[in-house]
Chain A
Amino acid sequence: MKIIVAIKQVPARDSQLRVDSAGKWIQTSGLSFEINEPDAYALEAALQLKEKNGGEVLALCAGPAGASQTIREALAKGADRALHIEDDTLNDLDTLAVSRLLAKAAAAENPDLILTGLQSDDLGYGQTGVVIAELLGMPHATLIMEVEKKDAAVRVKRELEDGWFQHVELPLPAVLTIQSGISKLRYATLMGIKRAKTKEVKRLTAADLGVELQPTITIDRVYAPVRTKQTQILEGSAKEAAAKLVEKLKFEVRVL
């Protein structure tokens, strides 16, 4: 089974974000980056499927040159090869334009399965996998917690709201968007890191893929949300703040 995993590089989780001077995105200089969290789970799911059923795992990433670090990590964890669509202007694009790039690059590999994360931590559109499926004419399922390979099909467990689940069977080739927590993540071994250096990373551009980088929807302005709620911040040292909180809980909220 040939599996493509779409991985995105996003600013590290605890980054202090600042809006850039144009007011259309964040300042990216000085930030550290990491793999988008659900994508790490998508990669894990792909590696486990390969271990069980054989085949090949390809990491697919569209991003600036600096994304190669995240790609290397995926290779170190066990992906066999990678496709890097190198572009610095992706933040100006929308899901459809990025999905066209990813779909075009994926299609050339004739995969049996394409896995994406269910949502990116930066843009948070939660759509790219579904749009890729539509562009490629493949069936899809979202919010996946388990994947079981059948003959020419997969049976997956979808998460629904409020603790409900559902099994769905889909013919291959198909696209799945993977939810976090699907299984425990592995670490890259020293051996893996060494091997990653020899693995193939194919670099592509939008021009190579014949995709026009034209957004349909546009981000007009990025800004800090205006707080509507008045939070009472309890100041002081940890001890003072804790004492103030206990007083509030005891005399105002009356729960202690």
Chain B
Amino acid sequence: MSGILVITQQKNRMSAETLAAGQQLGAALNLPVSAAVIGTSDAGEFADKKLDHIYTVDDPLLKAYTPDGYTAALEQLIRLKKPQFVLLPHTYQVRDFAPKLATRFQQVLVSDVVDFRAAPGSVVMVRQLFQGKLNADVKFGGEAPYFASLQAGAFRAENAVRADTPVSVESVPVQLDASKIRSRPEEPFREAQRAVDLTAASIIVSVGRGIREKENIPMVEELAKVMGAELAASRPICDNGWLPMERQVGSSGQTVAPKVYIAVGISGAIQHLVGMKGAKTIVAINKDANAPIFEVADYGIVGDLFEVVPALIEEVKKAKG
């Protein structure tokens, strides 16, 4: 067992982040780093990165993603190349197959990793608990390979080191059996066109579960109105039907980058943060000084939103004359 294998997902920007993280881990442990590209024989965007090898794993049965197909193919690749560490981007697709893949090796995927500390003989993965309120250092055990998936935005794609010599691309044949692929995936689709385009807004006022009841939403709506802002929400608000889905910000909603994002009663779970971290200025209003949202906020008000929001409406009105 040796080396680090980064499993990439096509057309997903988190793959480049994972590659950069793989190179970092490789440098710390003195291990060679390779990447796997699945479902195509084109090394594509990874061909210019500093890597030991790029393995392409292609087969007609890998054209459409299925957990059975991907697990079978990657299990064969890993048994053949015997990496010590397997790193993956924590995408929805990886969430779907990587726990299954790790189980094949009697291993546990350390999922959603935000950082690591590594020296030869000692590797600690850092992941969040309680929706980002606490961190945990996690250690691998049992026999390698050790699996970890990396959280969106935790590592910087720009840090990926480029190759000075062309990387060797090796096509790895796999044996797949159509009868063992049990799920029948259909074409991905989008729901009807969104009526609200939050991406164009320069100010967004976003409301979370701190608002408690549907009846309280108009208060935040008014704040948005006096500020000339679009109204957005975290997932539970849309799940409850208090605001339409199209106003949801986050990994399963819209990704926004306004000049100002005001988070009202939002805790700051990673799935929300990935949708709004790109805002130029972030304001958080939250009664819990330890809420993870303060990790990304430029300005914070620690207090009860039911006092702060009405006061804010007044002050904005005053300022606007």
Asked if A pairs with B, the answer is: yes
Taking Cβ atoms with an 8 Å cutoff, the residues of A that contact B are 11, 13-14, 17, 19, 26, 37, 94-96, 99, 118, 121-127, 130-131, 133-135, 139-143, 159-171, 179-181, 184, 215-225, 227-229, 231-234, 238-239, 241-243, 245-246, 248-250, 253, 255-256
Taking the complex as formed, is B308 at the interface, i.e. its CB lies under 8 A from any CB of chain A?
yes
Within 8 A of A (CB), among B105-143: 106-112, 124, 127-142
B100, B107, B140: the one contacting A130 at CB < 8 Å is B100
Given contacts A171-B182, A245-B299, A255-B203, contact A17 B134 (CB under 8 A): yes
Residues of B within 8 A of A (CB-CB), count: 93
Taking Cβ atoms with an 8 Å cutoff, the residues of B that contact A are 67-68, 91-92, 95-97, 99-100, 103-104, 106-112, 124, 127-142, 182-191, 194, 202-203, 209, 227, 235-236, 238-241, 251-255, 259-260, 280-281, 283-284, 288-290, 292, 294-304, 307-308, 310-312, 314-316, 318-320
Tell whether, in the assembled complex, residue A11 and residue B134 are in contact, meaning their CB atoms are under 8 Å apart.
no
CA distance A143 to B96 in the complex (A): 8
Given contacts A181-B238, A243-B315, contact A165 B190 (CB under 8 A): yes
For A167, list chain B residues within 8 Å (CB).
185-186
Interface of A is mostly: mixed
Count of CB-CB pairs between chains A and B under 8 Å: 249
How many whole Å from B241's CB to the nearest CB in chain A?
A: 7
For A217, list chain B residues within 8 Å (CB).
108, 110, 138-141
For A224, list chain B residues within 8 Å (CB).
134-135, 290
For B253, list chain A residues within 8 Å (CB).
163
Nearest-neighbor residue (CB-CB) of A247 within chain B = B319
Tell whether, in the assembled complex, residue A160 and residue B141 are in contact, meaning their CB atoms are under 8 Å apart.
no
CA distance A243 to B299 in the complex (A): 13
For B138, list chain A residues within 8 Å (CB).
217-220
Tell whether, in the assembled complex, residue A134 and residue B100 are in contact, meaning their CB atoms are under 8 Å apart.
yes
Tell whether, in the assembled complex, residue A124 and residue B112 are in contact, meaning their CB atoms are under 8 Å apart.
yes
A134, A160, A218: the one contacting B139 at CB < 8 Å is A218
Tell whether, in the assembled complex, residue B299 and residue A248 are in contact, meaning their CB atoms are under 8 Å apart.
yes
Tell whether, in the assembled complex, residue A131 and residue B308 are in contact, meaning their CB atoms are under 8 Å apart.
no
9 closest A-B pairs (Cβ-Cβ)? A181-B239, A127-B99, A238-B307, A242-B311, A139-B182, A130-B99, A169-B184, A242-B312, A246-B315
How many whole Å from A237's CB to the nearest CB in chain B?
A: 8
For A239, list chain B residues within 8 Å (CB).
311, 314-315
Tell whether, in the assembled complex, residue A219 and residue B136 are in contact, meaning their CB atoms are under 8 Å apart.
yes
Tell whether, in the assembled complex, residue B188 and residue A164 are in contact, meaning their CB atoms are under 8 Å apart.
yes
Tell whether, in the assembled complex, residue A234 and residue B134 are in contact, meaning their CB atoms are under 8 Å apart.
no
For B252, list chain A residues within 8 Å (CB).
159, 161-163, 179
For A168, list chain B residues within 8 Å (CB).
183-186
Given contacts A232-B299, A242-B314, contact A227 B294 (CB under 8 A): yes
